[in-house]
Amino acid sequence: MINHQENDSPPDTLSGSHQVSNILDTTTTTTTTTANNETNNNNNILDENNCKTNNNNNNINETDSDNTNITNSNTNTNNNNDNTIPHHEITINNETAEDNNNTNNNNNNNNNNQDDYSDSSDSSEDSLHYERECNSFIYISPSRAKLENGSSPNQPVFITTPNSSTPSLSSSFSFMSGAGGMKSTNRNNDHSENSKNYDVDFGVLEYGHEGELPSIKEYSKAMVSIALPVSISMAIVISAVRLSEEARNFKSVSPLIQYDVREDPATQTLVWGTIINSLILVGIIFLSSVIMFALYYFKFMKALYGWLMATSILLLGVFGGFLFILLMTYANVGLDYFTFSFIVWNFSAGGMVCLFWFCPQYLTRAYLVSISSLMAIFISRMPEWSTWSILTIVSLYDIFTVLSPGGPLKKLIDLAKERGDEIPALVYNGSVSIGMASSKNNTTPTTKTTTNDDTMSDTSSNSSSSSSSSSSSSSSNIQKSTSSSSISTGLSTEPSDTPMEVNYSTKIQLGLGDLVFYSVLLGRAALYDLGTIFACFVAILTGLFITLILLIVYKKAIPALPISIFIGILFFFSTSKLICPFLVFLGENQVFI
C-alpha cells in the first residue's frame, strides 16, 4: 500500500517551535497533535507578525554574531536534547518552548543560520540540515514571498548550491537518482554529523489547499524515485528468469504450492487448485502480518527485529546463494565451496549491516531491491495459473489489509503512527526533496539546501499550522508488512521546509511486497516473448503512476498492488494472446497496416 501522510507542521512557524515540533514528531499521538494544533495556530499569527522583526534581528546579529553565536549554540544544543524527552513530558515542553519561540529561538536560529553560510562557503562537506518539515505540498505564496524577499517570485525559484549553478534538487538519493539534476547535491546528503537544527526565521510559507496537487516537477521526482527501484527489480527478475531455463520446466516448485497443476489438468482441478494455492499464500501473508502486529503491539521489539533479520539473512543467503550457483552454471565457470561460502557470507552479512544498521543509503536501497527481486525470482517459479490467481487474490487482500478498518496492516500503521515510530518492516524509502525557494534579500546567495532524507523523515514539525489536514503527527511511515511474505507498500509523503529554502521532501515509501509481486508478474511474463515483457513493464509502471496520483489526491495509505496488477494482467493477456499472434500473422503474410 502506499501511504501519504500529512504533517500538520506548518512552515509558518519558523521560530524555535521547530524544536518543539521535533519533540512532537517522535512522540506524539494523534490526540496530542490535534490539541496542539489549535494552540499552534495562535502562534502562527504571532510568527507571521514576528517575521519582520526576526529579519531585523538577523541583520543585527550579523554585526555582533561572534559573541552571540556561542550562547546561541549552547541553547540550541539544549533544545536538541529535548528531543529525547519521553512522551508524557511533551506538553510541558511545548508550553515552555512556545514561550521561548518568539523571543530567543528566533535569534538563535538566525545566528546559526549565519554559521551555516560561513561553513558552507568553507567546505561543501558540511551538510547543513534545514530540517523543518511541513505539509507536503507547500507553496510560497507570491505575495508573502514578496514581502519577505524583496523580490517577487511568481514562480518558485530553485536554490542553487554554492558550487553549482544547476538547480539543487537536493536529495540524498544518490543511488537511485538517475537524473543528472541530482548529481550536484549528492555530496550534501548523508547522516550528517553536524546536522543541527537550523531554523531560519524568515518568510512565511503558506500551505496549498488541501486538495492542491503538487507541481509537475515534484510529481515527476516522486515518480522517478519510485519507478527506478521497481524498474530495476523487474529488470533483474526478467533477466534471471530468462537466464534460467529451468524456470520453464518447473523442476522445483515452491513448497507453498499444494496442488501441482502444471500439466493440463481438468478444469475443476485447475480452478480449485489455483485458488487453494493462492489462498495458502495469502493466509501465510495474513498470518505474518498478524504476528508482526502482535509483536509490535506488545512491544516485543527484539523478537520483531530478530524475525526480520532472520528472514532477511535467510533470503539473502539461501536464495542469493542459489542464484549465484545458477549464474555460475550459466556462465560455465567453476565454483568451489570456499569461494561460494565466502561470497555468500559476505553478501548476506553485509546485507544485515546495510539493512539494519548504519550504511550508505545507496547500499541500503540496493539491498532492498535485491531482496525483493530474489524473493520474486523464487516466487515466480510457480505453475502459470497459480501465478495469476495468486497475483489476483493478493491484490484483493492488499485492498483489504490496507483500507479496511480491521486490516492488520492498517492497524499496524495506525499504531506506529500513534507511537510516532517508524514501522519496523522492510520498506523502500524513495524520497525526493526538492528545494524550492526564493533567496532572501539577496544576501548570501550561497544557501545550501541539504536534505538528509533520513533525518527528515523523523523530524516533522508539528507545530503551528494552518495545515490543511488535521492529520496527526509526523513521521508518516507506512509500511507494510514485512519481509518475505509481505505484500505491502507504504507510501508516505513528508514535506519539509525551510523558510529560506523550502525543501520539499516528498517521501514515498513502497513496501517490499509490492516490489515483489510486480516482479512476479514480470517474471511470469518473461517466459513469453519480448513484446509481452515490455507491455507488462509499461503496464506496471502505468498502474504505479496512477496509484501515486491517487496517493496524492487521497493523502493516506493506499494499496499499491491492485491497479498495477490489474493493468498488468490485462496487458499480459491482451498482448500475449491477441497482439503478438496478430503481429506474427501480419509479419508472416507480409501485410502492412
Residues in touch with another protein (CB under 8 A):
26, 80, 83, 123, 125, 187, 189-196, 305, 308, 325, 328-329, 332-340, 342, 345-347, 349-350, 353-360, 363, 422, 424, 426, 454-455, 457-459
| One-character DSSP codes across 202-256 | ----EEPPTTPPPPHHHHHHHHHHHHHHHHHHHHHHHHHHHH-THHHHTSS--TT
Find the shortest distance in angstroms from Cβ 577 to another protein: 37
C-alpha 167/C-alpha 202 separation (Å) is 21
**Helix, strand or coil, per DSSP, at residue 150:** coil
Which of these is catalytic: 12, 47, 115, 398?
Answer: 398
For 484, list phi and psi in degrees, rounded to 5.
-65, -40
Dist CA 42 CA 40 (whole Å): 5
Residue 139 pairs in a beta bridge with: 206
d(CA 406, CA 13): 37
Tell the burial category of 94 from Cβ atoms under 10 Å away from its Cβ (0-12, 13-18, 19+). Answer: buried
119 is catalytic: no
- Radius of gyration of the CA atoms of the chain, in A: 26
Is 214 in contact with 137 (CB distance < 8 Å)? yes
Give dist(CA 313, CA 317) in Å, integer: 6
Chain centre distance of CA 425? 13
Residue 13 Cβ, how far from another protein at the closest point, in Å? Answer: 20
Choice between 167 and 424, CB closer to another protein? 424
Q: How many C-beta atoms lie closer than 10 Å to residue 331's C-beta?
A: 10
Residue 294: count other Cβ atoms within 10 Å of its Cβ. Answer: 14
Which of 337, 592 has the CB closer to another protein?
Answer: 337
514 is catalytic: yes
CB of 453 to another protein, least distance (A): 8
Residue 386's closest CA among 256, 559, 526?
256
Could you give the 3-state DSSP secondary structure of residue 296?
helix
Closest distance of CB 110 from another protein, Å: 21
Q: Which lies closer to another protein via its Cβ, residue 205 or residue 355?
A: 355
Closest by CA position to 97, among listed 39, 55, 137, 45:
39
Backbone angles phi, psi at 579, to 5 degrees: -70, -45
- 104: its cell numbers: 530567543
Nearer to another protein, 32 or 127 (CB): 127
To which H or E segment does residue 501 belong?
Answer: strand 501-511
Grid cell of 482 as nine digits: 514485512
| CB closer to another protein out of 69 and 450 | 450
CA dihedral 3, 499, 9, 478 (to 10 degrees): 20
Phi and psi at residue 585, in whole multiples of 5°? -60, -45
Contact 134, 5 (CB under 8 A): no
Closer of 289 and 459 to another protein (Cβ) = 459
Are residues 13 and 101 in contact, defined by beta-carbon separation less than 8 angstroms?
yes
> How far apart are CB 344 and another protein at their closest, in Å?
11
Residue placing its CB nearer to another protein in the complex, 89 or 125: 125
Nearest to 427 by CA among 239, 549, 560: 560
How far is residue 29's CA from residue 299's CA, in Å, rounded to a whole number? 16
Q: How far apart are CA 9 and CA 24, in angstroms?
A: 10
Rounded least distance, CB 40 to another protein, Å: 21
Taking a C-beta distance cutoff of 8 angstroms, is the pair 25, 458 a contact? yes
Q: How far is the CB of 458 from another protein (least distance, A)?
A: 4
Q: Cβ closer to another protein: 301 or 586?
A: 301
Choose between 93 and 441: whose C-beta lies nearer to another protein: 93
Q: Taking the complex as a whole, how short is the minimal distance between the CB of residue 8 and another protein, in angstroms?
A: 18
Q: Which of 381, 378, 380, 386 is nearest to 265 (CA)?
A: 386
**Cβ of residue 222: shortest distance to another protein, in angstroms?**
19
- Which H helix or E strand runs over 139? strand 138-139
Q: Which is nearer to another protein, 138 or 355 (CB)?
A: 355
C-beta closer to another protein: residue 80 or 441: 80
Min dist CB 340 to another protein, Å, is 5
Q: Which residues are catalytic?
A: 398, 514
